[in-house]
Structure 1
Amino acid sequence: MPFDKRAYIVGAHEHPTRKAPDKSVVQLHAECAAGALADAGLTKADVDGYFCAGDAPGMGPLTMVDFLDLRVRHCDSTDIGGSAPLQHVAHAAQSIAAGKCNVALITLAGRPRSERVDSLLNVTQPEMMWEMPLRQNTLDFYAMCARRHMREYGTTSQQLAWIKVAASQHAQHNPHAMLRNVVTVEDVLSSPMVSEPLHRLDCCVTSDRGGAVVVTRAEIAKSLKRPRVKVIGTGEAVQGQAAGKVELTASAARQSGATAFADANIKPSDIRYASIYDSFTITVLIALEDLGFCEKGQGGRFVADGNLISGVGRLPFNTDGGGLCSNHPAYRGGITKVIEAVRQLRGEAHPAVQVRDCALALVHGTGGRLGARHGSATLILERE
């Protein structure tokens, strides 16, 4: 994307609730939208583009645009699971550059904790007739990836546990986090084994809630009284099972990350903060390798000994506690990754975890399932 047509994230809002038995999904979407617009200093009358995915109820954008009473000239409901909000930021930036809209609103919300519904189990998917008899669930797929990574590269459960430890160190400063207690490597390893080699504390939480961001063209962003966060790099990719040639230790982040870094004209070592999708600890480790922060097979060493802890390690990650400790709404945690990166670049993260001189941040999402079919989306954001 030409640099003179870069878009900006001007508003971000995370819903504070983690359990919402008294709210509908559309209400959560609406409250997130209102919060993000208020944060930007805009109103719904300014919105002319709307973006959502499969977490939106009814007919997606048709339902939500009507419910929110928006007057839009462009909408997008591209769905690649938990990475969809990142892809929506990229698509919003591209749509703004193409003149299709000026102010794009992106929302995500869900109530899986209240509804107890596994939104990933869609029996209408054609491949399910082959996979359901095997009784594999999401956890089993990620356990296979972890076991293969251990076999091929010598990765250990202790190394994976450091990812949870880092998340917990950050979550203690987040009053809305579901799990605020700091844990140790020993705590993770002593938690119940849920699908070998993954322990309970290797897994993300399940929460209600949502979030929203607002993306605008440069002229509008510069007229607002908010710190400006520019979208300077985007990338997206999809990886399937390749007719049986399944890659358990690699993800579509290889393609999405390389594209985003080339778009931004920077390299991984330039990044000051990383928001990485953390449905499981192994999700983070594989993404860090595939994004180029370390060589393939070296992820275990890279994350060990506090390297992901803000103020301690070289690459602070998920300083809100992430999906491992804070929240994972609608089984789709991508929107929260964008929001925390915006906080870091604005200097609005909790003082205990705020990254010093944070000028460049990476956001990465994984949607679907590693070890099967999944999508990846990567953003590079810059403080201007």
Structure 2
Amino acid sequence: MRALTALAVCAALAAASCTTAYDEPPGPETVELAWAYVDLPQPPGPAGRVAVREAVSCADTWWLVGGVLGADGEGFPAGWRSDDGGVTWTSVRFAAREYWAERALLASVACHGDRVVMVGAKSGGAHGNPRVSTWRQRADGVFVDVSAPFPLYGGPSAVSVGRVEGGPSGWLISGNRTAGAAVWVAANDHDFVLVDDDPALVRDEEVDTLAIDHVHDGTGWTVVGSGQVDDGGQVVPMAWSSVNGMTWERQEVPADEGFGDLERVAATDDGVLALGLRGDAFGAWRRTDGTWRLGEEFGAVDPDGYAFRGASGLATDGDDAIAAVSDGSSYGLWAKLGPAAWAPVDVPVAPDAGGGQVLTVAGADGTVLLLADDGQTGRLWRAEWPE
């Protein structure tokens, strides 16, 4: 009766603003960025479509990696550098030594100071598994693949090899083996050591662990991911910390009753920010003074989407953040600026969330880069960090 009365009043006062219990609150205003398309030079070598995957900035130089893919599915690694804030780019040179490295698609790049490390892979061999290679830069600027024994990244215990990150103590790659979460650690840019037996990382009787991303916050490493508990039941967010990358501690991460995981993590002025899925929405977690707390929820997954769901990129500037996410059907950007709630960001392209299609973001020194690959071509946009 009260609802009907309210509707009658609204009808009578149509010229006035009237709100009932059935009205949904307005969503956050879209953040507008002045995206400028950036041309990437075609890398030297056979013709093919350009693919872009990840970008990073160190010492006033941006690095961007991906590959060139031919119509027959074969390709070769490709990369670019920019010394003017991402406005103009030049191709970097590669000198592959191994068969699979020569055909690899570079998926990750990290830098610390003037040192750069890349990670790529090419599926192949008898079982079609990814053949992972890491890359370092020679004194002449050419990138070469690092010779490594096959079991280091592959072999019967292989599951996944993820991103690479640089820090004051060296380099770290997170991933997974059949025993659970694992990392690869190097004090330099080439001698990676596998850590797949640390009791805090690997699965135990209570939880089956999965590592997804990591960051160095200036004092140590943080790896984030998820754990599956109750004999294949609930999935919960998990995080680990380490000073040296060799020995780890599990950290307590708050979780709701539904599905939850941590998929991207970045350092902020106030600590560490992680993003992942929280039920049917995207969620933020923040770690300050060593304690993880639940942050805001934003967006929603598409109940009819069956492709990748989750966070595909995260960039921070101070305590502000811009995230690339997929709702299961298509990609988009969201921003958290100051005390305002997470808000969608206007983007020039929103690829579908199908295989081989990518949308991710990188940020540094007041610049935001948007990397997009719709399965037809890889493209790059640049904008100033929003106020």
Global fold match (TM > 0.5): no
Q: Of Structure 1 and Structure 2, which has the larger fraction of its residues in strand? A: 2
Q: Which has the higher helix share?
A: 1
Q: Which has the larger radius of gyration?
A: 2
TM-score normalized with structure 1 length: 0.32
TM normalised by structure 2 equals 0.32
